[in-house]
Structure 1
Amino acid sequence: SMSDRDKSAAVPVVREFIDLGFKVMATFGTRRVLLENGLNVELVLKLHEGRPHVIDAIKNQKIQLIINTPSGEEAQTDARLIRRTGLAYKIPIITTIAGAKATVAAIRSMQNTTLDVKTIQEYCPNF
């Protein structure tokens, strides 16, 4: 779920996540904006909208990354429960568009890169 102020900025970021192979779920208002911009995303209900809702999706392992930029009192309450559940299920949580952009950039940079595992001594030989 994105706050109204973040919805338009979220469109290119969500497009990049989809290009990277992510399947995206969004709440009604966010989904509407994404659909209007040609992005195919699945609907997930807010907590007060019935079941199955976003917490159920987290618990059922349908969500592996959470991007939530809430605004308003009800959204903040939902966001706390979403973050708490996400943490309990070891799911990364992003709370800003800037964080989402950085995450996309990091994932994209890792696609064609291999990691070399080194000991700390190799990085700091005089330590």
Structure 2
Amino acid sequence: MKKKLWLFLLVFFFISCYAFRPEGETLQEAWYRYWSYIKQREFKKAFYYEHLCLSSERTPEEYAKGMATSLKVKKFELLEIGKEGSGPMGSTLIKMRLVTNWPPIIHLKNDRVVVKYDYWVKKNNRWYHLRRGLTGFW
């Protein structure tokens, strides 16, 4: 019985990663939607653009709860898309500009402008945001 429940949950999460995304999104469209959701703090929607939605047991609710204390995005801009598959884990790099209040330092009142690389990986003809962590990418 437990195996059937586990299998059902696994299939549900796998299918849910696809169900809430438009068909045929380009990398630029997926990147824009993901960062729009992050900016609007709609983390449950952003979850379906994360690679971890395919590779973890986290639910959209758990993801949203963990993201609620994260940086607040004020603006974002795509600067350049790198060569497909040239990054870590076969990812594609997007160079972007981010306007945020992160890191939250008491004495700094102004926004910070950060130029960063964002990593995206294509799985089953859909683009997913690849997160950089202390132990690697996920």
- TM-score bin (small chain): under 0.3
- Structure number with bigger Rg: 1
Structure with more helix by fraction: 1
TM-score (norm 1): 0.24
TM-score (norm 2): 0.23
Structure with more strand by fraction: 2
